[in-house]
């Protein structure tokens, strides 16, 4: 466990830099392969920025939603703490990030860019799909270093005993299963497989590609939804919340199954995207008319 490093002027938390490393590597790969899909470098980079903004907002928003039941249950204590330490209260509400919120936010950010600037969303979807698990894998290594998203009590091979942590005494109380590293490993496998498929598909002329546009994202979602559902059983942190006997992430995994099927089936998607473009153009015309 190495939650931060001293860089002289400050203690630098390592989760953010680890994810940033993965994100930068992913974008470099996207730029390298982008020309095979006829995509401009500026579109790849700017869409990623839109996606990153959406990722940050979505991850924070979903984290706040997981806190709402606790806030409601302990409302009086929450208000008292907010009055005594407003910054600490904000940290309690928005101090963490939820992967699924970040994933949905990233997709919405990229979608917004593509619709507004008339970029082929299916090309950029194919380009980004293998890179999502790459960035996520680095993020999970950051989780391991930070000691968050930790595993259940475990005394078998590869068990990890985290050092004492003043912020979370439960973490170091028993040996734990290194679920963060397992998830990182599974993400890297997914990245390798999807990238291989993408490269082989991109080498073919566009009209003769067997892989239908957008299907890579469906494959990634299907893989991760199944993996995450089982990985949740190995988690030991209660902060992620639950709905009945399901963790919040398991519930979201189930709810996202239709989205995975939608991308894999490859039916009706162009019509939906055309509809989004029509709405965007209509809004632009209305704004112009008002001016």
Q: Cα–Cα–Cα angle for 64, 248, 65, nearest 5°?
A: 15
Count of beta carbons in the 10 Å neighbourhood of residue 270: 13
From 248, 196, 249, select the one nearest 226 (Cα to Cα). 249
* pLDDT tens-place string over residues 160-195: 988 876 556 778 888 999 999 999 999 999 999 999
Sequential DSSP letters for 52-101 = HHHHHHHHHHHHHHHHHHHHHHTHHHHHHHHHH-HHHHHHHHHSS--HHH
* pLDDT tens-place string over residues 191-208: 999 999 888 877 666 666
Mapped onto helix, strand or coil, the DSSP state of residue 266 is coil
45: confidence class by pLDDT, cuts 50, 70, 90 = very high
* pLDDT tens-place string over residues 227-236: 999 999 998 8
| 289 has a pLDDT exceeding 60 | no
Q: Report the largest interatomic distance among the alpha carbons of the chain, rounded to a whole angstrom.
A: 68
* The predicted structure's pLDDT at residue 188: 97
* pTM for this prediction: 0.81
- Highest-confidence segment of 50-64, 85-99, 265-279: 50-64
């Amino acid at each position: 466990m190495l939650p931060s490093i001293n860089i002289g002027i400050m203690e630098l938390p390592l989760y953010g830099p680890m994810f940033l490393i993965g994100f930068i590597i992913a974008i470099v790969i996207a730029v390298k392969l982008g020309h095979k899909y006829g995509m401009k470098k500026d579109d790849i980079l700017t869409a990623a920025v839109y996606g990153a903004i959406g990722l940050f907002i979505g991850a924070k928003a979903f984290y706040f939603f997981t806190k709402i039941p606790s806030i409601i249950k302990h409302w009086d204590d929450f208000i008292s703490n907010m009055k005594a330490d407003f910054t600490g209260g904000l940290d309690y509400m928005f101090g963490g990030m939820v992967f699924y919120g970040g994933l949905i936010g990233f997709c919405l950010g990229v979608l917004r860019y593509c619709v507004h600037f008339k970029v082929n969303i299916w090309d950029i979807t194919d380009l980004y799909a293998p890179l999502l698990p790459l960035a996520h894998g680095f993020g999970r290594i950051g989780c391991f270093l930070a000691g968050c998203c930790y595993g259940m009590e475990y005394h078998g091979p590869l068990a990890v005993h985290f050092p004492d942590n003043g912020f979370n005494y439960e973490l170091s109380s028993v040996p734990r299963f290194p679920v963060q590293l397992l998830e990182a490993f599974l993400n890297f496998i997914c990245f390798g497989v999807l990238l291989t498929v993408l490269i082989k598909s991109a080498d073919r002329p566009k009209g003769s590609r067997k892989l239908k546009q957008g299907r890579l994202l469906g494959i990634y979602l299907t893989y991760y939804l199944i993996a995450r559902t089982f990985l949740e059983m190995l988690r030991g942190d209660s902060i992620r919340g639950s709905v009945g006997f399901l963790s919040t992430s398991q519930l979201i995994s189930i709810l996202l199954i239709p989205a995975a099927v939608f991308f894999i089936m490859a039916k009706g998607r162009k019509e939906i995207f055309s509809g989004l473009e029509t709405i965007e153009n209509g809004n632009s015309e209305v704004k112009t008319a008002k001016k």
